[in-house]
Structure 1
């Protein structure tokens, strides 16, 4: 299947190109900057074109992933070039205007599904992500493409939400417009106060640090995109004005030292929120995960540990030498590495084993050991598995009772697949610990 992504050289479009090309689709991205387009296409191993109409005319699925302010012009540009029987998706953060325009301009033999992936360009896979589909009528759901899109998203364990374009934009006015506006306002206020954020973290609770991390995530996004989200949502001005009114109201209550009204506002606001206990539970998990990671790192000092960079996915394996609030120091054997804690995750045993299977050469060893005749090979193997790391596979290759073995004994030969010789030596030590005699 050929998928054309208009605007696939940057941002969400690039993310979708990465994900879809890994799924085996024939992906072509477009972008005005030819040098950058060729660079990205080589990086992602996809096709590149700077001709939107040509890509639209040859693709089975066309995904429009350009800034909100440009979306209308792109729809107008490609509308009559899209081939018969194909599908058009736009992935902008507002849905009413693009939906109406696609309905008006696209040929009747072309299906379209206004779509909003509610995740950012840092996303690496679709599992657990939210995608909103906003068909403008039930007729759209009866087309050829809608069931296919649903199946693909369900197979990828995506959380699918179906809504009208109007309902979507109403919800996004709070989820995006209000959130971005209030977070950027808070970040701006901190700047005007002349406060060093790094210094505040020394005095802060985990909740404050989590809040600053979330604010940082929002304000670090493309400001042109954030501006478009604010401007293009039809409910944006109403939401911003309501927020400003609420801030001024609360400020005036405190200026007047009006405790009664302050308490009243706080209680009414709390009552309006979703299940508070569930919210507390989710935030507790977020806080605990931060503390747990630091605890695991501190307990691993002097031991081998595997750490994966959450963006490049590069894995670093070595002896953990030092942990401080921001960085860890890792001795990889070749050199000392300093890694930022915020950018790494600790690989558990299964993840590390999978990584080693893909990236390291395995070694096969055999060892024969004499045991009393009533010894149970299954118990020996289970004990070795529990006691020795880095064993990929271990099995009984042979049980021998010939003339070379004294009466009342058996020789058990084990075949072991490992990553290094030291693991094999550990197995031999366990066999001898059982009272076995290595042959």
Structure 2
């Protein structure tokens, strides 16, 4: 009886594998059509439509919602990966071989000729230069010391905070004749970033190179988000990064001080996901501190976070939590 059922499962597995292979072939064809039409490889609205349909049907069949999401998300990532096009013939030099630089090199190696160099190396000519370094004066000095090589190309920075050096790079691009686009990948050191988001902010010298940069990241399988200014970026990131990191670290300190084992058996299902996020933040405390220190909206948003926490506590004590989620 057991062997008979396992035999049926094996047959179904073969069918599933063949269906997934068919789906991936269709995805490849979709990728070719998208590139011929100049469309982005990643279509978030379509992804959400597919995810919602899968999760709804699998949940109705009794499968846990989180497991259903992970299942369909894995299939979507695989389908996006095979849509990534061939080499675009663009030469990219990434300055900085840390976590951000290595991850960006893995992403762009899918579609471009990528060189990864250190801040003290002498760069060769390239179509695109990407500063995957810390937002310090050393990064500015690198550009100044290598303007003859960078002239005529496009320079990107990947800084998490834009207010500090956006104007500096923009002014240098005007003075020395290169193009400048500011970028912010919204993902860290992940194994194979697919369908992740990257923010682009145009400058006065971006010109047509903005389209080149957008196509470069889009063809590499990233979702491109356009923002209008460094101020808009930093204000939004104060909520999405500063407040988020602060809340996670505060929860970590609370649980640790209470003597709770964050890898123990008492963690609820949802808290396990939160602990994973906390662990990622803890491994990058230098970056967290840098963002907190440099973002000009950091103090006001943290104060807003404290006031909001007080408000939620008050509403909770009065039985009015529905007002929080209206």
Q: TM-score range with shorter-chain normalisation?
A: 0.5 to 0.7
Unaligned runs of 5+ in 2: 1-89
User: Is residue 122 of structure 2 the alignment partner of residue 64 of structure 1?
Assistant: no
Aligned twin of 1:4: 93
Q: Counterparts of 1:19 and 1:155 in 2: how far apart (Å)?
A: 10
Q: Counterparts of 2:247 and 2:275 in 1: how far apart (Å)?
A: 13
Aligned twin of 1:190: 255
Aligned twin of 1:121: 189
| Aligned 1:1-400 pairs, distance under 5 A | 1-7=90-96, 9-31=97-119, 50-51=120-121, 54-55=122-123, 58-68=125-135, 70=136, 72-82=137-147, 83=149, 84-106=151-173, 107-125=175-193, 127-137=194-204, 140=206, 142-143=207-208, 145-163=209-227, 164-199=229-264, 202-220=265-283, 222-248=284-310, 253=314, 259-260=317-318, 263-264=319-320, 266-271=321-326
Q: Counterparts of 1:64 and 1:120 in 2: how far apart (Å)?
A: 15
Relative distance call for 1:80 and 1:117 in structure 2 (3 A) is same
Contact 1:136 1:165 in 2 (8 A): no
Q: Report SS of the residue matched to 1:96.
A: coil
Is the helix fraction higher in 1 or 2?
A: 2
Q: Deviations over 1:49-72 (max 9, x none)?
A: x32xx21x633321111123x2x4
Q: Counterparts of 1:26 and 1:187 in 2: how far apart (Å)?
A: 39
> How high is the TM-score relative to the length of structure 2?
0.65
Q: CA deviation at 1:171?
A: 0.9
CA RMSD of aligned residues (A): 2.3
> How high is the TM-score relative to the length of structure 1?
0.49
Unaligned runs of 5+ in 1: 32-49, 272-439
Contact 1:88 1:111 in 2 (8 A): yes
Higher RCO (C-alpha 8 Å, min separation 6): 2
Q: Counterparts of 1:151 and 1:59 in 2: how far apart (Å)?
A: 17
Size of the aligned set, in residue pairs, is: 233
Contact 1:17 1:29 in 2 (8 A): no
Q: Report SS of the residue matched to 2:253.
A: helix
Q: CA deviation at 1:104?
A: 1.7
Contact 1:90 1:98 in 2 (8 A): no
Q: Report SS of the residue matched to 2:210.
A: helix
Is the strand fraction higher in 1 or 2?
A: 1
Q: CA deviation at 1:25?
A: 0.5
Q: CA deviation at 1:250?
A: 5.1
Q: Report SS of the residue matched to 1:88.
A: strand
Q: Report SS of the residue matched to 1:18.
A: helix
Q: Report SS of the residue matched to 1:119.
A: coil
Q: Counterparts of 2:106 and 2:221 in 1: how far apart (Å)?
A: 18
Q: Deviations over 1:248-290 (max 9, x none)?
A: 4555x49xxx832xx33x333212xxxxxxxxxxxxxxxxxxx
Aligned twin of 1:286: none
Q: Report SS of the residue matched to 1:197.
A: coil
Relative distance call for 1:150 and 1:22 in structure 2 (3 A) is closer
Q: Counterparts of 2:107 and 2:198 in 1: how far apart (Å)?
A: 14
Q: Report SS of the residue matched to 2:181.
A: strand
Q: CA deviation at 1:205?
A: 3.3
Relative distance call for 1:22 and 1:162 in structure 2 (3 A) is closer
Q: Deviations over 1:195-219 (max 9, x none)?
A: 12233xx334322222222222222
Q: Report SS of the residue matched to 1:97.
A: coil
Whichever of the two has the greater Rg, that structure is 1
Q: Counterparts of 1:241 and 1:247 in 2: how far apart (Å)?
A: 10
Contact 1:135 1:165 in 2 (8 A): no
